Amino acid sequence: MVQGVGFRPFVYNLARGLGLTGWVTNTAAGVELAVQGPPEAVEEFFSRLVSQAPPLADIHAVHQREIAPEPGESEFLIQASQAGRRSTLISPDVAVCEACLAEMNDPDDRRHGYAFINCTHCGPRYTIIEDLPYDRPQTTMRAFTLCPACQAEYQDPTDRRFHAQPNACPVCGPRLWLADAAGRELDEPEPIAAAAQALADGRVLAVKGLGGFHLAVDAKNPAAVERLRSRKHREEKPLAVMVAGLASARALAELDDDSAQALSSRERPIVLAPLRPGSGLAPGVAPGNRLLGLMLPYTPLHHLLLAEAKRRGMDALVMTSGNISDEPICLDNEEAVCRLGGAAPRGAIADLMLLHDRDIYLRSDDSVVRVVDGALRQMRRSRGFVPSPLILRPELAPEGCPAILAVGGHQKNTLCLLRGREAFVSQHVGDLDDLRTLEFFELTAGHLSRILEAKPKVVVCDLHPDYLSSQWAARQGLPLVKVQHHHAHAVAVMAEHGLSGQVLGLSLDGTGFGDDGTVWGGELLLAGLAGYSRLGRLRPFFLPGGEAAVKEPWRVGLALLIEALGLEEAVKLDLELIRAHGDKLELVGKMMERGLNTPRTSSMGRLFDGVAALCGLRFSVAYEGQAAVELEQAMERPAEEGYDFGLREDGGLLELDWVSLVEEIATDALAGADPARVSARFHAGLLSSLSTWVLAGAESSGLDRVCLGGGCFMNAALLAGLPPLLEAAGLEVYSAAQAPSNDGGLSLGQAVAAAAAWGRDRLTGDVTTLTHGEGPA
Ligand SMILES: [Zn+2]
Ligand SMILES: [Zn+2]
């Protein structure tokens, strides 16, 4: 990635500084250049070319050869990009750089206090680019004509803003204003100061940002936080908090070195870290959560707003995405008025709106990361990281393979466009149940293909016939490949670590469509890139009410009790679950007996829900995975002795059996064990049983590499606890870090699986299904 990031001016200045002559130009593959001069200078040039490259440049390879001298060459030139040859890698959006910040804070600078300051090393990219080539007319900056001063910077190869497409200043660039909830501009000469004052008064502010809108309130004002929550209909999910710098961040959360580094990295993700007791944050910021989502300012506007907030005694602002739960983040000013302002269907969410006239072309939510087991883990890979590709090992990207578009799953959707060895995973699209999200999904698919100049020839989807993504894929009129959900999770991890051949895939998550038509989610697979077979599963149990059981874990709790102990015994138990929901035991029993809207599932995520219900922690949830998250966080310290899972054979599958677990939890809970204790014993038992289970699979298959995939590995106790147990027994363990372990990483696995199948001539006819029976390879 060497175009649009100031690489040619860097080469120009470097060559001239060393007294070299020659030229540099952009090509389809990157940058081509020639230098001529004394050998020591040429050598020095090549060593600094990589070591001192501009911050946004990402150099994958340097190929170098000697050419005949050019007699009479007297200077170094930047040659225009040749027609038809253009940028093939677009930079992500990047946090404002130190040099720009220094100018912004300098009262004598012409951009003093300017909220849209940027340069070649920082600022918006992916979210403002509509098409290639990456030139101003193809971005949402085309509405602004450069003033003479900005134009001069733009044309000067020695200037930091040489060819900086979003270059702007107060004279010629975007402007900021404050509006009321109806979107009417207020007569406020200092909109940022006025916005900060509104925050100090406890009001809710919508802030137009880089990839969408944020909703902001004073994070230490409980009434303001409650107001935001109730208006946003997001009662339970934790809210992200923005602070001015690392010192303020450390006052709120415990940060290890890796987390601190991630916080201040130029990608500026939200970093999850343990909340510090006595932080002073309103309890409503992250109710029932030990973790806090923190981020530092990444746009000039954020820096200015935080500075004004500080002047008014506020050092932490809630900055949560500007959407009603489950809708995509807001995009333009009109939409913001319709959805966040006075025109919103359920009343205004924001009291005031800080707006500007630089359009956002493509939404991009904040990324979310967490350090677990010594590695930075992507939980939501989006703004700041996208569209940087993951580069695959050559053996994972067969020569001549056409561009492949993988459409991901249903929840936490992302897409992935595979072009040669580059896998471009899209920004977080969201849950595809909303029409607006589906439109965003389609826009993203088209955009990826345009900016990467790669027209997909093969499309890949999940095996689930009802996913909107699968249905969309089937309508594209291209050869279609279907990849089983848990196989895709395993392949995503293989792709990240460059593994080919066969591995054990331990895929644990909420739900995915199995190749037998049942709901899977606790799977031990013998996985290859292009196929798999199922070695084992979590012993299936009933999901009374199907989808309803996801929102109401009490249903799972009752079903587990009935199956483990029988209805007669279950009804007699003096458990909180029975006291609260025992009246439905008989009904649930009947549903199970008759199979009435009560599928069987081997889902590990749902087992977590069931355990949360059994120990009285959670009977219903506001969002999927909430009970599992709270069960993990209920644990105060690890238990020495865990609950027993059994192992048994069933239909040729090695089953992890939960029956004895349920008996033990019931006994413990009856004896007065609190959720903290049940959680600790559950986790301890799960870790040792998973280890035994995987080792049995390793024994029977002769494999010694295991890939951990699926949303359950968002659980830090599991992700950090399992590898040492498996490694002690001689296995090599791999897990997801660069792509999310949850369904956000599915598209990567799908794309790589399809490429492998293509490479082995496995794609036959219009539809190819890479399922059980294809055999691993
Ligand atoms: Zn800059
Ligand atoms: Zn200007």
C-alpha dist (Å) from residue 492 to 392, 503, 621: 11, 12, 29
CB 457 within 8 Å of CB 479:
yes
Band (85; pLDDT cuts 50, 70, 90): very low
pLDDT given at position 732: 98
Task: Report percent pLDDT > 70 for the chain.
Answer: 97
Q: Is the backbone of residue 616 left (phi > 0), alpha (psi -120 to 50) or beta? A: left
Say if residue 133 is preceded by a cis peptide, omega within 30 of 0: yes
- CB neighbour class for 750 (10 Å; exposed up to 12, middle 13-18, buried from 19): buried
- For 428-471, what is each residue's pLDDT tens digit? 999 998 888 899 999 999 999 998 889 999 999 999 999 999 99
The answer, yes or no, to whether residue 263 has pLDDT greater than 50, is yes
Confidence of residue 427 (pLDDT cuts 50, 70, 90): very high
**Mean pLDDT within 349-359:** 94
Instruction: Classify each residue of 339-378 as buried b or exposed e, where b means 16 or more C-beta atoms within 10 Å of its C-beta.
Output: bbbbbbeeebbbbbbbbbebbbbbbbbbbbbbbbeeebbb
User: Per-residue confidence at 762, pLDDT binned at 50, 70, 90?
Assistant: confident
Distance 166 CA to ligand 2 centre (A): 11
pLDDT mean over 32-52: 94
| C-alpha 153 to ligand 2 mean position (Å) | 9
In this model, does residue 775 exceed pLDDT 60?
no
- Give the Cα separation of 254 and 12 in Å (integer): 44
Nearest ligand to the C-alpha atom of residue 54: 1
Dig out the tokens for 266 from the structure: 């130029």
> Residue 583 pLDDT more than 70?
yes
3-state SS assignment for residue 271: strand
Q: Average pLDDT in the 359-377 region?
A: 92
Please report which ligand is nearest the Cα atom of 146.
2
Distance 161 CA to ligand 1 centre (A): 8
The whole-number average pLDDT for the span 266-275 is: 96
Which residues touch 265 (CB under 8 Å, ≥6 apart)? none
Give the Å distance between the CA of 4 and the centre of ligand 2: 19
**Ligand number, closest to the Cα atom of 123:** 1
pLDDT in tens, 112-131: 999 999 999 999 998 998 88
Q: Which residue has the higher pLDDT, 303 or 596?
A: 303
Those residues with Cβ within 8 angstroms of residue 477's Cβ, 6 or more apart along the chain or in another chain: none
| Mean pLDDT calculated for residue range 594-622 | 95
CA of 147 to the centre of ligand 2 (A): 4
Position 625 scores a pLDDT of 86
The pair of three-digit structure tokens given for residue 691, joined into one six-digit string: 């280890």
Residue 348, pLDDT score: 87
CB-CB neighbours of 640 under 10 Å: 8
Mean pLDDT, rounded, for 593-620: 96
With a cut of 60, say whether residue 86 has pLDDT above it: no
User: pLDDT over 90 for what percent of the chain?
Assistant: 78
* Residue 521: other Cβ atoms inside 10 A: 26
Q: Which ligand lies nearest to the CA atom of residue 298 in the structure?
A: 1
Ligand minimally distant from the alpha carbon of residue 100: 1
Say if strands 600-601 and 541-542 run parallel, antiparallel, or are unpaired: antiparallel
Residue 112 is given by DSSP the state: T
Tell me how far apart the alpha carbons of residues 723 and 734 are, in angstroms, rounded to a whole number: 8
pLDDT band at 84 (very low <50, low <70, confident <90, very high): low
Q: Is the pLDDT of residue 134 over 80?
A: no
**Stretch 720-726: mean pLDDT:** 97
Distance 92 CA to ligand 1 centre (A): 14
Considering every ligand atom, which ligand is closest to the CA of 173?
A: 2
Does residue 776 register a pLDDT over 60? Answer: no
Going from the Cα of 9 to the center of ligand 1, the distance in angstroms, rounded, reads: 15
Tell me the CA–centroid distance for residue 12 and ligand 1, in Å: 19
Whether 248 shows a pLDDT value over 80: the answer reads yes
- At 88 the pLDDT is 61
Residue 53 CA, ligand 2 centroid: distance in Å:
27
5 Cα: distance to centroid of ligand 2 (angstroms): 20
Give this prediction's pTM: 0.92
| DSSP for residue 540 | P
C-alpha 574 to ligand 1 mean position (Å) = 64
Alpha carbons 340 and 345: distance in angstroms, whole number: 9
3-state SS class at 757: helix
Task: Give me the count of residues in the chain.
Answer: 777
Instruction: Read off φ and ψ for residue 31, nearest 5 degrees.
Output: -130, 140
Ligand at shortest distance from the CA of 117 = 1
Tell me how far apart the alpha carbons of residues 656 and 646 are, in angstroms, rounded to a whole number.
6
pLDDT score, position 138:
86
Cα(139) to centroid(ligand 1), Å: 18
Residue 221 to residue 223: CA distance in whole angstroms: 6
Identify which ligand lies nearest to the alpha carbon of 145: 2
**Cα 309 to middle of ligand 2, angstroms:** 28
Sequence-separated contacts (24+) of 137-143 with Cβ below 8 Å: 139/165, 139/166, 139/361, 140/358, 140/359, 140/360, 140/361, 141/165, 141/166, 141/168, 141/358, 143/357, 143/359
pLDDT at 617 > cutoff 90: yes
pLDDT averaged over every residue in the chain: 93
Calculate how far, in angstroms, residue 297's C-alpha sits from the geometric centre of ligand 1: 14
Mean pLDDT, rounded, for 349-361: 93
Does residue 777 have a pLDDT over 80?
A: no
**Distance from the CA of 123 to the center of ligand 1, in angstroms?**
7
